[in-house]
Structure formats: structure tokens, C-alpha cells
Structure 1
């Protein structure tokens, strides 16, 4: 399973990718929508974990762009803000919506559920 993590907080997203790799996931990361689009054009991902609130391109906008490039990818949204509007929009567009800080065990569980593993 190949996963792409996208968050504008580079320390968070790189640490999350490392923690997922320790648990057997092949995890790449990007810090912007543009970087994520480039990665998806050049790699096959099963799932993307997207931050909802990012500068220039939101996670919701990014999901639409990524879906145009590679339909069939699954999505999980993360948000540090957790507004009701974000939840409604994110929950409708993804396998699940989690509020940061997210526990790694919960994220692993949601990834496995989204991908039909375990």
C-alpha cells in the first residue's frame, strides 16, 4: 500500500510518514497541493491523507485535482480546526475525517479500513 500525506506543516507530515513507515506502510509526503499533484502524476498511490486547511489550495480542492489525475484513490481528511462545515464537506468527500492531533493508532486503523485491510 502506497500512501501520500499532504500537510503544510513539514515537521508534522514528515514525522507522520516516518511513523507510518515503521508500521509497514510505503508513505510519501508533500507540503503543498502543487507538490502533491506532481507526486501523484509520477507515482501510484492507494490513499492520500490530506490536511483540510492549507494555503493556496485546500485539501478539498486538492482532492478534486488528484481525483482527476488518478481516479480510484481513497482519501482521509485531517483538520486542526474541526469546524462543522469542514467536517460535513470532508466527510462527504473522503473515507473519513479526523481531527488533529491524531493518534497514529487511529490513523492506521482508518487507513486499513479505507483500503480494506485487516
Structure 2
């Protein structure tokens, strides 16, 4: 297996739990509070990503979670969640399409971001 993909299976399993949290909260925010897709996607992302950040730090990458790492992770993927949600609003896409596009794009982008930037171990 290529070194690039080491840890991807663990990241994916945690990502499934993250996705369940994200999707449920997204649809509750849309239906119960009538929030836009951009706001619903971002708020749902913040809750789900906070869970997966700490679990991935410990189990996937074996590094300590820090405020700096957390803020970098949230800033990068939070921006992606806002953009995808805004596109869903702009193009009047169904909410299911918005969360599906975000979930797939954040899986790959989030893994690469986490592996090479957020949870990167210092060179010895």
C-alpha cells in the first residue's frame, strides 16, 4: 500500500460516524429552523468535525490535539463547507445533494489536509 493512503481506512470509518452526525444535524437545522443550506452545512460541519478532529488525532494520526491544529482544520474545511452550502443555495440544489457533495469532497480533502498539514509530525 502506498504511504500516501496509510491511515485512510481508519479516517474513513471515523468519517462515517462524522457523516451521520453531520447529515442528521444539517436536516434538523434546515427543517426545524429553516436555515439556509450554507448556514446549516457550516453549523453541522462544526459539530461533526469537532468530534472527528479529536478522534482522528488520537486514533488515526497518533498526535496530540492542540488549539492551533483544531483551528487550522476548522478554518480549511469550514470554508469548504460554506462554499458547498452556498453553491447549494445559489443553484437551489436539494439538501441531499449539498451534503453528499460536501461529504465526498471533505473525505478526500480532509484526509490529505490532516495527513500533510494538520497532524503532520515534526521532522526529526
- TM-score over 0.5 for the pair: no
Q: Which has the higher strand share?
A: 1
- Structure with bigger gyration radius: 2
**TM-score, L = length of structure 2:** 0.30
